Amino acid sequence: MMTEKNESKGTILIIDDERVILDLTSIVLRNRGYTVHTASDATSGMAVLEECRPQMVLLDYMMPMVDGLTALKQIRQRYPDTYVIIFTGKGNEELAVELMKAGASDYIVKPFNNQNLVERIENVLRIRDVELRNQELLQERELLLAEIEAWNQELERRVQQKSEALQQAQAEIVQSEKLASLGYLSAGMAHEIRNPLNSISLFAQLLKSTLDDPEKVDYVDKILKEADRIDDIMRKLLDASKRPRFQLSEVRLDRVIEATLEAFRPQISLHGIAVVKEFRRIPPPFQADPAEIEQIFTNLFLNSIHEMNDGGSLTVVLDQDERNMVIRIADTGPGIPREHVAKIFDPFFTTKTSGSGLGLAVVLRIVKTYDGRIDVEKSDESGTVFAIRLPLSGV
C-alpha cells in the first residue's frame, strides 16, 4: 500500500492489483491536486477506506480473492457517501447495468486516456456534491417539517387549553347567574310560601289535638310531614342560592372528614361499602364555618352511598399542593352519564326518584364561598371521582 498526501481538492482511493495502474493513476491524480491512497487488493483497500474515508474509490473489477463487484457492494453499503468508479478490461451493456445496479457511479475501460479519466472523475465528484447537498437539504426539510409539526401541536395544545379555560369560565358565569337568579326567586318564594305553610302546620296541629280517630290522626300526621318536607326544600333552596348565617372558626379537614364518615357508618355498613382513607398530606387548619364544610362532605358521601346500594368502595384522598388543599372523593358506582355531567350542579337537577336536586348546588355554593372549585375528574362505568380544591392562601 502507498499513500501520498498534498493540498488537495479531494481524496481518492485506488484499489487495483496491477502496480502500473496504481502508480500511473496516482501520479495523474496527484498532479491534478487530489490526495491519493492506494491498495493492491480489496481487503487492504477496505482498511484504508475505513481510516481515510475518501470521496471516491477507483476500483478494479477483476481482482484475486475479493472481486471488484463484491467490494463495490460492500463499499456502497458501509460507506454510502463514498462514490465508486470501476476499472474494467471489458465493457458491454450487460456489465454496465450490473455495475450501476450494484451502486457504481461510472465505469472506465482499460486502457484509458488520462484526460478522459480526470474528466470522468470530476464529473462524478460534481454529481456527488450535488446529491449530498440534496440529501442535506432533504434532511433540513425533514427537520423543519418536524419543527413545524411540533409548533402546530403546541399551538393546538394551547388553543385547546385556552378554549377549555374559556368554556370553564363561561360555565362558571352561567352557574353564577343561575345561583343569583335562584337567590332572588327563592327569597320571594320563602316569604310567600312559608307564611301559609306555617298556618297549615299550626291548624293541622290544632286539628290533631281534637281528634280521637286514629285514622284521622294519621292523616293529619301526613299533612304535617309533607309541610315539614316543603319547609326543608325551601331551606335547601335558600342554602343553595345564598349563604345563611355562619360562624368562622379553625377547621381541620381531616377531622371533618372523619366525623362525617362516622355519621354515615350505619349506612356504609348496611350497604357493605368499604371505606378507604388516604391522608397523604394533612393541610393546616383554616378559617371556615364547620357546618358548611361538613355539608360539602355530607352531600357528596350521601350521593356516593346512594350509587352503591349493592356494595362498593368509597375512597377519600386528602392532600395539598403549593396552592390548594385537594380532596378527592371516589366511588365505584355506575358513574354519571356523560350528558348529565354538565348539569349536576344545576339546582333541582336530579336523576333520583326521590330528592330535591339541590345537594350538589349547595356544595358548589359553599366551595365557591371559599374561592375554591369542584370538578368531576372522572365518571364512567367504573365509578365517579369528585375533586375539590380550596386555596391555601390565608391558611
Residue 119: the pLDDT is 92
| Average pLDDT, integer, range 328-357 | 81
pLDDT tens digits along 34-92: 999 999 999 999 999 999 999 999 999 988 888 889 999 999 999 999 999 999 887 77
Cα distance between residue 182 and residue 174, in whole Å = 12
Predicted confidence band of residue 6 (pLDDT cuts 50, 70, 90): very low
Average pLDDT, the chain: 85
Cα distance between residue 277 and residue 299, in whole Å = 18
pLDDT at 133 over 80: yes
Percent of the chain with pLDDT over 90: 47
| Average pLDDT, integer, range 208-232 | 84
Predicted confidence band of residue 144 (pLDDT cuts 50, 70, 90): very high
Residue 313: the pLDDT is 94
Q: Given the C-alpha cell 367504573, which residue does it identify?
A: 382
pLDDT at 188 over 60: no
Please tell me whether the peptide bond between 111 and the residue prior to it is cis, using omega within 30 degrees of 0: yes
pLDDT at 333 over 70: yes
pLDDT at 1 over 60: no
Predicted confidence band of residue 357 (pLDDT cuts 50, 70, 90): low
| CA proximity to 288, closest of 325, 246, 321, 327 | 246
User: Which residue type, as a one-letter code, is found at position 5?
Assistant: K
Residue 5: the pLDDT is 45
| Average pLDDT, integer, range 243-258 | 84
pLDDT at 299 over 70: yes
H helices within the chain, ranges in order? 19-31, 42-52, 68-78, 93-102, 114-209, 214-241, 253-263, 265-270, 290-306, 338-341, 359-369
Least confident of 31-45, 88-102, 143-157: 88-102
Percent of the chain with pLDDT over 70: 86
Highest mean pLDDT among 164-178, 198-212, 266-280: 266-280
Cα-based distances in Å from 216 to 67, 198, 210, 222, 257 = 118, 20, 10, 10, 44
**Greater pLDDT, 261 or 169:** 261
Cα distance between residue 256 and residue 291, in whole Å = 9
| Average pLDDT, integer, range 251-259 | 94
| Average pLDDT, integer, range 239-244 | 58
Residue 254: the pLDDT is 94
CB 117 within 8 A of CB 28: yes
